[in-house]
Chain A
Amino acid sequence: AQKITQTQPGMFVQEKEAVTLDCTYDTSDQSYGLFWYKQPSSGEMIFLIYQGSYDEQNATEGRYSLNFQKARKSANLVISASQLGDSAMYFCAMREFSSNDYKLSFGAGTTVTVRA
């Protein structure tokens, strides 16, 4: 079964506007972590933000914030004030802490294109 679902294959956003990338997850664990990574066309994977399942506050890192809705099992990434350099593929990922293998499960990704 798919553990991470990203339903938006591609999105366009105007420069300086905000964009929300959807991510839903499936787990029976009580303790888990959610991650977002950015992959520019160069291929490198850049860590953006982390949310633990027990964190009461939504995570924020600069222009990135994570809208964590535990009951709905969603962890949407919000990028505020989009910049041309934000054009990339974005991946949501999850680690279940009951597992001892430290694996991350990744979604299929969302391609974001920022327009000037």
Chain B
Amino acid sequence: DGGITQSPKYLFRKEGQNVTLSCEQNLNHDAMYWYRQDPGQGLRLIYYSQIVNDFQKGDIAEGYSVSREKKESFPLTVTSAQKNPTAFYLCASSPRTGGTGEGGYTFGSGTRLTVV
């Protein structure tokens, strides 16, 4: 079955460490996105990519980095510069047209990151 796989499901980070969250999709979608969700809050866009080897900052990109070397993969690195990284991170993808309701997203199951 096609879908998006995020790993790991839970991740613990020590202060000052960089960690990388994985996101892989086999839907042949062009666009991929990373969102951050804090408890009881909505989704805030971190980074997005429309094509391979290209990506753009979202609303809260500071302290994060991404790469898009393959169409299927869009890993997110939470760097030590991110002062409050504890949150739930969701990856999503979408086709340029069509798909779930004219370009709606397919989401991964999320990674819950905790700083210890």
Contacts and interface: CB of A to CB of B under 8 A. Distances in A.
Contacts of B58: 103
- Place the interface of chain B in its size category: 20 to 34
Given A43-B88, A43-B112, A45-B90, A50 B101 contact: yes
A42 B105 CA distance: 18
Contacts of A101: 48, 50, 56
Contacts, number: 63
Interface in B97-116: 100-107, 109-110, 112
A84 to B, nearest CB: 21
B76 interface: no
Contacts of A100: 50
Given A33-B103, A50-B104, A95-B103, A44 B109 contact: yes
Contacts of B64: none
A44 B106 CA distance: 10
B33 to A, nearest CB: 7
A18 interface: no
Interface string B24-65: 000000010101000011110100101000001010000000
Interface residues of A, number: 24
Contacts of A35: 101, 104
A99 to B, nearest CB: 11
Given A44-B109, A45-B107, A47-B101, A106 B56 contact: no
Interface of A: 33, 35, 37, 42-45, 47, 49-50, 52, 91, 93, 95, 100-104, 106-109, 111
6 contacts: A33-B103, A33-B104, A43-B109, A45-B107, A93-B104, A111-B40
